[in-house]
Amino acid sequence: MSLALAPLDMSVELEANLPCRKFDPDLWFSDSPAELELAKSLCGDCPLRVECLAGAVERAEPWGVWGGEIFERGAVVPRKRPRGRPRKEDVARDAALRVEAEARLAASGLSEVRGAVRLAA
């Protein structure tokens, strides 16, 4: 059984409490880094967060927020950078956030899905 599939007895009430069902779906696919961070935070209490993230990893989702993580070109990224050349402090912060994202994936047991989850450099 794929981790991406929800149980068959999932109730309509549960679906109504999912943040991706209550808010504008475009929020999870925004170009704005601030909106993507908001979407990530809304995923925090979602009862299907782990299953959503596992499904996105299995499918190598090309982009969007899935299970509280940002995907870009099929890889998990710690945060979406705005356009233009990054500042030096942004590069250092990205390295720290990459370690944090790896720890979250390992804690949820998803580092073994599809071999290993690819994190963007």
Q: Nearest Cα to 6, choosing from 42, 36, 49?
A: 49
Q: CA-CA distance, 99 to 107, in Å (whole number)?
A: 12
**Tens place of pLDDT per residue across the chain (121 aa):** 444 444 444 554 556 688 988 899 899 999 888 899 999 999 988 999 999 999 999 998 999 999 999 998 888 888 776 667 767 777 777 788 878 888 877 877 766 544 445 555 5
Q: Is 81 annotated as a binding residue?
A: no
Q: Is 46 annotated as a binding residue?
A: yes
Q: Is 43 annotated as a binding residue?
A: yes
Identity of the residue numbered 110:
L
